[in-house]
Amino acid sequence: MKNKEFFAAIDAIEKDRGINKERLMAAIEQGLATAYRRNNGEASNVEIKSVPELYKIVFNVYKTVVDEVEDPEKEISLDEALESKRSYKVGDKYYTEIKPFEFSRISAQTAKQIILQSIRDAEKEIVYSQFIQKEGELITGRVCRKKDDGTLFVAIGKDGQTEGILNTSDQNPTEKFSLGDPIKVFVKKVKEGTSGVQVLLSRASAGFVGKLFELEIPEIKANIVQIKGVAREAGYRTKIAVYSTDPGIDAVGACVGQHGARVNSIIAEMSGEKIDIIPWSEDLIDFISYTLSPAKVSWVRLNEETKEATVVVPDDKLSLAIGKEGLNARLAVRLTGCKIDVKKFSDAVLSGMMEEEVNSDRELAEAGANLVMEGGTLVNGEKMPDNPFDILNTSDENEAKEIEHEAEPDNPFDILNTSDENEAKKIEHEAEPDKTEFEDFIFGLEDVKPKDDD
């Protein structure tokens, strides 16, 4: 069978769909061989070879060379084989080329199904290998289809040949897209199904936000600033915790950018969703305080074993700390991994919680006082010096007196910031209370008589 157009079509499929031509020809050969057996019996031995250089497909049937023939359909005697070629030996295949024939309708349909299935399998492998590497990354596509339930299909990959699925649960509820709109999406999952490879996309996941920050903030891409956690309710609010590995770089400032340029571009891509950029802290109490931003926290009590925290905020900041329908507190819980109970200050006082806190602080203060009395410590936990002159950084009593003398002003009027004796007396006089007024006050007290008890 010779057909130049047939081989040109094979080249076009390889170019458009990226399927290897050798694999495609192997599928065609397999399909034609199956069709031949359908026409001539399943026991038929047939091999089909493609010769692209000659634009030709060769059909061969073969028999096995044996000493004594038992199955004439599959075997040929050595003597008969040697008549055509002297090199044959027992066990060789004896080929006979046959001319192309017309398949029956059923045989042709069988061949078509085998070929198409092989093409689908090849495409599935190509799509899977292409997108499994992009799992967890951002890609750009174009909306190509839309179902009645709101599910979007996005043309992605080389020349938009693959359709990614953007389910309604993975969409930002405040966003609307039309057919043909360009769209940036997060590759959430790549999985193989019965109908082919499914590429699941998302614009509502925390990963989408993280990758937007990585794309926009060079310090994150360079791993100087790290994203420690993201909590999100798509369309409403996102909290992202960041940390700088370089003490000279402010993690929050790097994410915000000059005049908010960096974060504003991210907010625009997220259709105006609010973003709280929070400094991450290894101290969980501090971190919990930060996560309730924009509310200011008075204090936090944490049970590290149960991961439960009680947070007290000013009365007028309670609604801000909790957020609309509990959103702010809910995101703080997700970000910290702790159960958080937010209380207003007045309720904490009435419940006696603040009294416990004050008593705890008083106990610490008393313990510190006892330490001082027993030989004690300074504020920073440093021991009081055994030699009192150590405070002046000297152990010599005479030198200490000299330091003390040098500390005194040469001119006593320097204390009043003046070197003029008359001016100093004037300042001193102005500082004294009016004597007459003072005496009137004292004498007035003498006129006050205590009331007699009833």
Take residue 99 and report the two structure tokens written for it. 């001319």
Tell me how crowded residue 329 is: count the other CB atoms within 10 A of its CB: 18
Give the CA-trace dihedral at 378, 383, 389, 392, to 10 degrees: -50
In CATH, 283-376 is 3.30.300.20: yes
**Domain range 133-202, its CATH number among 2.70.70.10, 3.40.190.10, 1.10.10.60, 2.40.50.140:** 2.40.50.140
pLDDT of residue 59: 81
For the chain, the farthest-separated pair of C-alpha atoms sits apart, in whole angstroms, at 154
69 within 8 A of 76, measured Cβ to Cβ: yes
pLDDT band at 379 (very low <50, low <70, confident <90, very high): very low
pLDDT, one tens digit per residue, over 219-241 is: 999 999 999 999 999 999 999 99
Can you count the helices (H) and strands (E) in the chain?
Answer: 16, 15
**What residues have CB less than 8 Å from 120, skipping those under 6 apart?**
196
Domain boundaries, the chain: 4-124, 133-202, 283-376
pLDDT at 415 over 70: no
- Strand 162-166 and strand 152-156: the pairing is antiparallel
Average pLDDT, the chain: 79
pLDDT of residue 423: 52
Question: Which CATH fold would you assign to the domain 4-124?
Answer: N Utilization Substance Protein A; Chain:P; domain 4 (3.30.1480)
Q: What angle do CA 292, 232, 288 make, to 5 degrees?
A: 25
Question: Comparing 82 with 372, which gets the higher pLDDT?
Answer: 82
93 within 8 A of 65, measured Cβ to Cβ: yes
Average pLDDT for residues 383-397, to the nearest whole number?
A: 44
pLDDT at 322 over 80: yes
pLDDT of residue 41: 67
Pick from 98-102, 257-261, 324-328: least confident? 98-102
185 within 8 A of 142, measured Cβ to Cβ: no
Question: Comparing 110 with 42, which gets the higher pLDDT?
Answer: 110
pTM of structure: 0.65
